[in-house]
Every structure is written in structure tokens, then in C-alpha cells.
């Protein structure tokens, strides 16, 4: 098992507050009528939340480089799937 440095409680509280702020942003965008731009905002906020969780709670910041490569490959694959889904949706 690879040991990794433990983040301070201050860091985790800051990340938690950031996630709560992003949650409030998502909630606020649900009440705004922005048309198709609502989906863009919500996908961007979800991406930001996922990045925060991966970096801090999954310890990618201090993880082994292979773990980082696998996480980036997973996000790349997810981007391909979302892109293909939006392409299919746009052509119907």
C-alpha cells in the first residue's frame, strides 16, 4: 500500500464548503429559465464537483502517476460518451 500525505481538516472543510456552494449554484439554475443554457451550466457544475471529489477525496493530488493516468482516461472516455450522446440528441 502506498502511503500518501493526509490533508488537513481545513482543506476538507474548504472543499466541502465549495461543494455546497456548487450545489446551491445548481439549485439556483433550476429556478432560472435560461433555455438550453441551463444544461450547459449544470454539466459544468457537475464537472467541477467531480474534479473536486477526485482530487481531494480520492487523493489524486498525492496519488501515484498511474492512478492519475487512469482517472484522466476515465474522464476522457466519459467526454466521448457525452459527446456522442449530445450528437445523437442533436440529430433527432
8-34 pLDDT tens trace: 889 999 999 999 999 999 999 989 988
pTM: 0.75
User: Which carries the bigger pLDDT value, residue 21 or residue 40?
Assistant: 21
Q: Give just the sign of the alpha carbon dihedral 10, 15, 19, 24.
A: positive
Q: What pLDDT sits at residue 25?
A: 95
Where are the chain's structural domains? Answer: 8-58, 62-92
52-75 pLDDT tens trace: 998 888 888 888 889 889 988 998
User: Rounded CA gap, 88 and 55, in Å?
Assistant: 31
Amino acid at each position: 500500500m502506498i502511503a500518501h500525505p493526509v490533508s488537513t481538516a481545513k482543506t476538507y472543510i474548504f472543499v466541502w464548503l465549495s461543494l455546497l456552494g456548487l450545489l446551491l449554484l445548481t439549485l439556483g439554475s433550476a429556478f432560472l429559465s435560461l433555455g438550453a443554457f441551463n444544461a450547459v451550466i449544470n454539466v459544468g457544475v457537475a464537472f467541477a464537483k467531480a474534479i473536486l471529489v477526485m482530487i481531494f477525496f480520492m487523493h489524486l493530488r498525492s496519488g501515484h502517476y498511474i492512478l492519475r493516468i487512469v482517472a484522466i482516461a476515465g474522464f476522457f472516455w466519459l467526454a466521448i460518451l457525452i459527446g456522442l450522446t449530445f450528437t445523437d440528441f442533436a440529430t433527432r
